[in-house]
Amino acid sequence: MSISLAQAMFDEPLVLVDVACTELADRLARMGLYPGSELIRLQEEVFLQPVRVRGPGGDVVLPGGMASKVIVHHDDGHKTPVLEMLPGETGHIEGLVGGSFLSQSLEVLGIQEHDQIQMVRRVPPMDYLVRTAQSRVQLTESMAAKIWGEMNDREMQLVMAGKNKTFQVKKILGGPRAHERLQEAGIIPECSIALESVMPAASTGIKDRDRIVLRADSGLRIFLRLDQAGDIRVYPLHKTSMNQDGGQSVRR
């Protein structure tokens, strides 16, 4: 009897049975995960931090969530998410564990699958004070990195912008949640904003309790959202397995 990956126990071997979302199934297959593949759901806290990488068009900042979904094939042969690359490491983008919003955002940043990239550094947590037409808002580094626009006839992310200069917003990177959060702050495409100041953040990153971490037989770690995990059916290899809410056991 198969169960949802979101219900699977931690640190126990599982067999991938099926993936309901065709796009996700195709992307996982490119990472070497097919029906019949063995994997383990890891019990660990997911810590998301923006990273600066060097792509074909120069340096860009990837928010932590985005960096966790981009898989890189390193020059020495192993694979990791960009989030887990070390400074100076290089490789090409092997694939994405995300949907069209991710690939579209990367394209805006000048990065596509198979491109060579280099990890520059993990970005220290900073807060950005931004002036909009109505008020001042404080944004995290990850949210500021999702604002793409133009300043002095040059396109860039807000995190690359100079202070107290007019920044014309062109696009919001990411999915509907990012669009909604920035819209609530008064930041939408075609509006003008200005970066007033950048200051160290009180926290050192974002703890994402809704993120699931898998380890494939190859050693590759894959980060998935809970809704993605809900589309994945697995078969526990052990005789007894129980979901994380203490539900009924599944016995073989």
pTM over 0.85: yes
Q: Which CATH class is domain 3-45+209-239?
A: mainly beta
pLDDT the model gives residue 242: 44
DSSP per residue, 16-49: EEEESSHHHHHHHHHTT--TT-EEEEE---EEE-
Cα separation, 233 vs 226, in Å, equals 13
Q: Where in 75-205 does DSSP place strands (E)? A: 79-81, 90-96, 116-122, 126-131, 136-140, 147-151, 154-157, 166-172, 192-200
Of 106, 154, 107, 161, the C-alpha closest to 139 is 161
- 3-state secondary structure (DSSP) of residue 85: coil
- Reply yes or no on whether the pLDDT at 206 is more than 80: no
- pLDDT mean over 235-246: 60
Asked whether the predicted pLDDT for residue 250 surpasses 60, the reply is: no
Cα distance between residue 128 and residue 141, in whole Å: 7
| Amino acid symbol at 203 | S
What is the reported pLDDT for 46? 77
The whole-number pLDDT of residue 1 equals 84
52 beta partners: 61, 121
Query: Residue 208: pLDDT band by 50, 70, 90 thresholds?
Result: low
Instruction: Tell me the domain boundaries of the chain.
Output: 3-45+209-239, 126-200
What confidence score (pLDDT) does residue 252 get? Answer: 39
